[in-house]
Amino acid sequence: MLDKVGVLLALAFVASAEDLSSISEIIDQAVFVSPSSFAVLGPNATFRTNAFNTSTFFNPTSTSPPFFQIFDPAFLSILGPNASVHEVSRNDTFAFAHEAPVYNPATDEIFFCSNGGGTLGLSDIDHNNVVNKISLKEVEKALAENNGNGSVVHVPYTTLDLPDSLQMTNGGTGPYNSSLIFTTQGRGSLPPSLVLVNPAEPYNATVLLDNFFGRQFNSLNDVKVHPTSGKLYFTDVRYGWLNPNTFRGEPLLPSHVYMLDPETRAVRVVADGFDKPNGIAFSPDGKTAYITDTGALGAQFGNNQTEPA
């Protein structure tokens, strides 16, 4: 699992399964937790009081990470019988693997970006974050050579030399017409944007959108391509301003979910009422959008457990 500061890159290898009829087929790194086992903790139990305390995540079985915690057997049909978690790259001095994981089948690589604005992100109002990539071919080779001797291998990652049009990259998806799509949060007066990036050198980029009818977005967070229409749906939140190392000015727009038609470049609001809309994903048929609201994370103004999480 990604650790709390985002300096650890780990991959979960998932295989499909056509028939998982019993819990006995659970994989080695998975723990099934029946909801009935913790429905009543009792008057003398130690209850959780801080959802943000990374040492007290909900772990009723006290299993040592990394592991898959399963509350519903139906999840096994997604996880499959051979899933595993491995640490494959690490840098304790730099939060190099924080957001925007995108797999590119053409090169068998995963792209991801470093933390933007955090202490270990080495980025702020005066310094941009970076986009990295790692070869899954090298990962598979390292794991094979490790021959089951633990779940940790160290594969080097490569930092992309990207144009200045990408400032504080945060979300990503693809491939899209052989390119990757990234959302950027912007930095200082440089605007947040939706950007197409060539996954191969020279990593040339094309900005698709950088404003909403003349106003800059706040800090674009995540983006996905609708599976049937091909339109781009993305979230905008104010984390660049909320960040303790503030790298954006005060918000100019509400925190919305937007849709961009990549053919006409027309943009519109498609959902409002969120506190801090964050990640976005679609069901395979495109009929349902899933959007996380991390309203509880107040950054420089403190966390609030009564807000959406």
pTM above threshold 0.75: yes
Q: Could you list the pLDDT tens digit for every one of the 309 residues in the chain?
A: 333 343 455 555 554 444 443 544 568 888 999 999 999 999 999 898 888 887 788 999 999 888 999 999 999 888 888 888 899 999 999 999 999 999 999 999 999 999 998 888 999 999 999 999 999 999 999 999 987 666 789 999 999 999 999 999 999 999 999 999 999 999 999 999 999 999 999 999 999 999 999 999 999 999 999 999 999 999 999 999 999 889 999 999 999 999 999 999 999 999 999 999 999 999 999 999 999 999 888 888 888 888 888
Residues ≥6 apart with Cβ < 8 Å to 142: 88, 153, 154, 155
Alpha helices in 169-273 (DSSP H): 239-242
94-150+157-301 has CATH 2.120.10.30 classification: yes
Give the largest Cα separation in the chain, rounded. Answer: 62
Closest to 247 measured CA to CA, from 176, 179, 188:
188
Sheet with 257-260, strands from edge to edge, namely 219-225, 232-237, 257-260, 267-271
* H helix or E strand, kind and range, residue 85: strand 84-90
